[in-house]
Amino acid sequence: MLELSSEATRLAGILLLAAVTIESGGWYLTRIARGAVPATDFQRSFARAGHGHAGMFVTLGLLTAVLTDATSLDGFAAWVARSGVPVAAIVMPAGFFFSSLGPGRTTPNRLIWLVWIGAAILAAGLVTLGVGLLTA
């Protein structure tokens, strides 16, 4: 039987529930695709990117939650390894969604920086976990 730490168990539960919110985002995307929600081509592409990144990162976050328990990481390093991808699952998609808000928008606004902050958080989590696994 796989035995998970309380941190991994809690995070996995949160991520599985978060997947339901991503599912509702998919419903919103179908409304955009049907023309029920007015959107420019730019806004459609950023909505798809935000939705896709959120779903993929939540799935990857489940894996990092479990794999962190296979390392000897502790403290802040364990937190970064376990939580980096799930935090990126919030920050990076938020950058896609919030930077494309507004009627008729065809270019991102200043909130595009959230995409790059999310990418840095993602890299920190993955590198920390990768090094932790290689040195376990």
With both helix axes pointing from N to C terminus, report the angle between 113-134 and 75-98 in degrees, rounded to the nearest 10.
150
Q: What is the CA radius of gyration of the chain?
A: 17
Rounded Cα distance, 28 and 22, in Å: 10
pLDDT of 1 > 80? The answer is: no
Rounded Cα distance, 46 and 99, in Å: 9
For the chain, how many residues are written?
Answer: 136
Rounded Cα distance, 41 and 45, in Å: 6
pLDDT tens, 7-55?
A: 999 999 999 999 999 998 889 889 998 999 999 999 999 999 999 999 9
pLDDT category at 115 given cuts 50, 70, 90 is: very high
Rounded Cα distance, 99 and 122, in Å: 19
pLDDT category at 123 given cuts 50, 70, 90 is: very high
Rounded Cα distance, 113 and 121, in Å: 12
Residue 123 tokens read as 């890299």
Rounded Cα distance, 44 and 14, in Å: 28
Rounded Cα distance, 87 and 18, in Å: 12
pLDDT tens, 51-107?
A: 999 999 999 999 999 999 999 999 999 999 999 999 999 999 999 999 999 999 999
User: What pTM does this model have?
Assistant: 0.92
Rounded Cα distance, 67 and 81, in Å: 9
